Amino acid sequence: MSVNGIGALERGYRRSPQRETLALLAQALDLDQEQRAAFAATAASSAAPRGHGVAAPATLPIAVRSFVGRDAELREIDALIREHRLVTLTGTGGIGKTQTALRAAAALGGPTPIYFVGLAPFGADSVVAAVASAVGAQETPVRPLLESLIGHLKNKTLLLILDNCEHVVERAAAVTDALLQSCPRVRVLATSREPLRTGGEHTYRLPSLSEQGAVELFADRARAVDHRFAVTDENARLVAELCRRLDGIPLAIELAAARVNTLPVRSLVERLDERFRILSGGERTALPRHQTMHATIDWSYNLLDDRERLVFARLAVFPGGFTLEGAEAVVCDPSLERTDVFEILSSLAEKSLVVSDVDRAEPRFRLLESTRAFAAEKLAENGEGFVLARRHAQWAAGLAERARRSAATTPVEPWVRTFEPELQSARAAIDWALASDDAPLAARIAAGFAGVWRMNHGFAEPRRWLEAALPHLDGGETELTARAWYALSTVTFGMRKAEAARRALEFDSNLGDAGDRVATLYQVSQGLLEAGRVEEAQAANDRALRLCRENGSMHSRRYAAALEMRARVAARGDRLDEARQYYAEALSLTSALGDEHEAILIRTNVAELDSRAGDFARALESAEAAVEAARRVRSHHREITALANASAYRILLGDSKGARESAREALELARGTQPRDAAIALQHLATVAAHDGDARRAARLRGYVDAWYRNEECERELTERRTYEMLTEALRERLSDAEIAKLVREGEQLSEERAVAEALAV
């Protein structure tokens, strides 16, 4: 017998043994005449199509493991199967196409027989034979097997599952087309890493598991190797992170779960950079390509042509997805035309090696993490790693320049949405540039993307990159150095902000345009204001306003920002009428420019004026309106500020419960991204805790907040000073000075993560 024939019998794909095979087995087993007759009868019974639905053991493989996390997909697939005669489940290797197809078929119910044909062990020449064997069609000497198969099925009603078609896709498509045209009551459910592309086909791309489904699958498979395993409060976050980094791919999750009897979940997460060593050791009875994640991807890779393999490997340099324009800029060279990239990308997407997202204004593509790790191996084998990494970094630097130039003329929210998807590429490019001793390249990328990072992802990362690059910039890079210092001023606070902006002005005194200097002066003013140096802040703001008027740029976002800063300076000097006048002028201009993001900031600051005047109810009403407006335009930064202020106003109105809820919302959004807003929210939560009797926790949180303001050389603004005074008074009523001092010292040692955890544990 052939290897394919034995494999088909072992896996139950073939149920009709040849008479010669039966005779040889009977002889080898030394059966007597009676035993031979029973043996032949058993073989004939097993081979005959029997039963309905999925109960017959002769038709579908029996599931021996639970099926988790695909309820929504099964409902959608069920509807497709009932409506269309050919449905193909597509998706990346290990996504669960086979098991989902089997479960979808099992859920159909009714009298229709279902036959399973696993094509994985077969070549293209054996597709017809595999189908014929599964349904019991016999070859005759007088006509080809396909004709015999059609004749056998012509008047039958059945569902045929063709599993793993990708390596024989052309032949599988031809056979399917022939069956559907000639056998009107036959339906086909196929699984393949790419569509069959034949008439009447409806494809269903099987997505990754949802987070909940992925966690459920991990827990189920982990309990199979360690019955004591459970998802707990202590490990839930790590399990979720593990599943996310495995892209919700069932095979990868199952392979990782199989390791929990030797590695704790934390170690699995930490070792994911070695994922192909971790994601191995699947079931011995599984097909070889399903025993390791590497083999699963290798199966698809080996089906590519040379150009597809080249592009696939080069795409490994994109860590967080890419546009067609990005791919063309990075992967092309004299051997590969830009016009070919779209065709190759489309082919890789059809073969489920690239994931495409066409729901955006500009379509994006990405490689799943395990797929990208495999592609990186191939890129290294090709010897192109360094060249492609530099090309990628240079492309990222060009994007950063576009981001910097458009920042002043594009409303904030669409500007952020345009460049935010490229942050992972920016991060990887900066990291590579610094490791390659190319500080100017790293600084260009970090400076251009700093504002994008700052809006929704925090200050810490761009600040770290810029501080790493600035000391290594060449004295001849004057314009770049000014740009980097300016970017640093936008992600620092207080006097650090003011000093960084002043350094930018020093380098930019004879370079750049007036608009850049106005923006830099805004950072000087803001830093000085945060440090409590109001007169100096006003002097810097005066310079900014004068530059705008001298250069005729009074209908610009930068002039609106300078007016808003003048209002803040006036408010700090208790000149409330003057502040309202400047805020009104700034709001009118901002609205005319269509910049809702900055309009929300101005409305938030107007609420602060009401608070200064003692009208806390009106201030709260304005803050709540700002929260809703920020949510409409998806501005997390503005939403956090408005929520934190709303919490303070509620404290001042005596609404402890409402204050706690607003501060918790602000803190959840600010944690890890907006350190100043996180500190303010923590202070408000401490104030509520102190008034509710939890003075020890409140004192520790106060210690953290005190340390933050001290380290950043910032002063509290009036609203924060008011709640801080209430906090201090409440602590003194409940604790001795010695106890307060001890608990404050403990709080000073807390990291932001620990302080947040303590605040939210209430």
* Cβ pair 530, 715 in contact under 8 A: yes
Averaged pLDDT, 674-698: 93
Answer yes or no: are the C-beta atoms of 485 and 504 closer than 8 Å. yes
pLDDT at 57: 32
- Please tell me whether residue 188 adopts helix, strand or coil conformation: strand
pLDDT at 702 over 60: yes
The model's confidence at residue 17, banded by pLDDT at 50, 70 and 90, is low
Token output for 511: 């370079």
- Res. 311: pLDDT tops 60: yes
pLDDT at 56: 34
Average pLDDT over residues 292-301: 78
- Six-digit token string for 55: 């109960």
Structure tokens at 165: 């078609």
Residues 6 or more apart whose CB falls under 8 angstroms from that of 257 comprise 217, 218, 219, 220, 221, 222, 224, 225
**Percent of the chain residues topping a pLDDT of 90:** 53
Per-residue DSSP letter, 303? T
pTM over 0.75: no
pLDDT for 76: 94
688-705 average pLDDT score: 94
Q: What is the pLDDT of residue 16?
A: 57
Q: Does 677 or 633 have the greater pLDDT score?
A: 677
H or E, element range at 133: helix 127-135
For 496-521, write each residue's pLDDT tens digit. 999 999 999 988 765 557 788 899 99
57-115 pLDDT, tens digit per residue, is 345 665 556 777 788 899 999 999 999 999 999 998 888 898 899 989 988 877 889 99
Q: Look at residue 58 in the predicted model and tell me its pLDDT.
A: 40
Give the residue, 718 or 53, on which the prediction is more confident. Answer: 718
pLDDT confidence of residue 191: 94
List, in order, residues 6 or more apart from 292 with CB less than 8 Å away. Answer: 255, 276, 279, 280, 281, 282
Give the per-residue pLDDT at 13.
Answer: 46
Direct distance between the N- and C-terminal alpha carbons of the chain, in angstroms, rounded to an integer: 70
Q: Please give the backbone phi and psi of residue 93, each rounded to the nearest 5 degrees, phi first.
A: -60, 135
pLDDT above 80 for 413: no
- Interval 441-472: pLDDT, tens: 999 999 999 999 888 787 888 999 999 999 99
pLDDT in tens, 638-663: 899 999 999 999 999 999 999 999 99
| Token duo for residue 648 | 């303070």
What's the residue count for the chain?
762
Over residues 20-60, the pLDDT tens digits come to 677 788 888 888 877 877 777 666 555 443 332 333 334 56
Q: Report the pLDDT value the prediction gives residue 290, as an integer from 0 to 100.
A: 46
- pLDDT band per the 50, 70, 90 thresholds, residue 142: confident
Residue 757 has pLDDT above 60, yes or no: yes
The secondary structure of 188-251, three-state, reads EEEEECCCCCCCCEEEEECCCCCHHHHHHHHHHHHHHHCCCCCCCCCCHHHHHHHHHHCCCCHH
Angle at the Cα of 378 from the Cα atoms of 372 and 379, rounded to 5 degrees: 85
- For residues 392-419, average pLDDT: 89
Q: What is the pLDDT of residue 326?
A: 94
Residue 276 has a pLDDT of 65
Q: Tell me how far apart the 2 most distant CA atoms of the chain are, in Å.
A: 112
Residue 653, token pair as written in the block: 């109105």
| pLDDT for res 48 | 42
pLDDT of the residue at 755: 93
Residue 697 scores a pLDDT above 90: yes
Q: Average pLDDT of 673-692?
A: 93
| Mean pLDDT (whole number) for 129-137 | 90
pLDDT at residue number 654 = 93
- Residue 663 has a pLDDT of 95
What local confidence, expressed as pLDDT, does residue 6 receive? 64
> What are 553-585's pLDDT values in tens digits?
888 888 999 999 999 999 988 899 999 999 999
Task: Tokens 């489309």: give the residue.
Answer: 346
- Average pLDDT rounded to a whole number, residues 189-201: 93
Residue 588: per-residue pLDDT:
93
d(CA 294, CA 288): 11
Spatial separation of the C-alpha atoms in residues 502 and 521, rounded to whole Å: 8
